[in-house]
Structure 1
């Protein structure tokens, strides 16, 4: 598959994950929260598949992608934090954005 297409789908899926988190924390009713959760999960799966498809090309002996995977797992747990009201919605969104920026840095710089 074309690397440009893989990267485009990967970035689109990341945007979808953040849209799902936003829908979850701002949902007024349970139906909207479920729809946001479905979007969040589907886009996380697409993000994972496209990420591993891109990793297939370079050697996987680098470890930056493992840290990035851990970051996305934490972002994947954001709906559980929102449902249990562990943190305020603004804090959940802020943490997810900061973690997403960290994942983007790891992908661009590949520091280790």
Structure 2
């Protein structure tokens, strides 16, 4: 598959992920739909991310940091729902995690 198409789909998954996080953090109807969108977008991001890697470079570790950020963002709705952390803090930390993941993907520092 074309790398530009994979990147576009990866970004579309990220946009859907944060739309679902925003909807999940808001109290109101449609939480089930937001949860489904969260799960589907997490899966899309993971699969397309590994498709872009093709073979993980074992001498570099930047992609492992991205997987840890992905795991945190995946747990974010549970952290907010169980009131482990306030919803706004969870959303802020998720944005920080996404920024770190974007930096790692663009610059591949190590």
TM-score of the two chains, using structure 1 as the length reference: 0.92
What is the RMSD of the two structures over their aligned residues, measured on CA atoms?
A: 1.2
Structure 2: 5+ residue stretches without partners: none
Alpha-carbon shift at residue 27 of structure 1 (Å): 3.2
Partner of 1:96: 94
In 1: Cα distance, 2:61 partner to 2:24 partner? 31
In 1: Cα distance, 2:5 partner to 2:33 partner? 27
Aligned length: 109
* Runs of 4+ with >4 A deviation: none
Alpha-carbon shift at residue 88 of structure 1 (Å): 1.5
Alpha-carbon shift at residue 87 of structure 1 (Å): 1.5
Partner of 2:79: 81
Structure 1: 5+ residue stretches without partners: none
In 2: Cα distance, 1:41 partner to 1:91 partner? 21
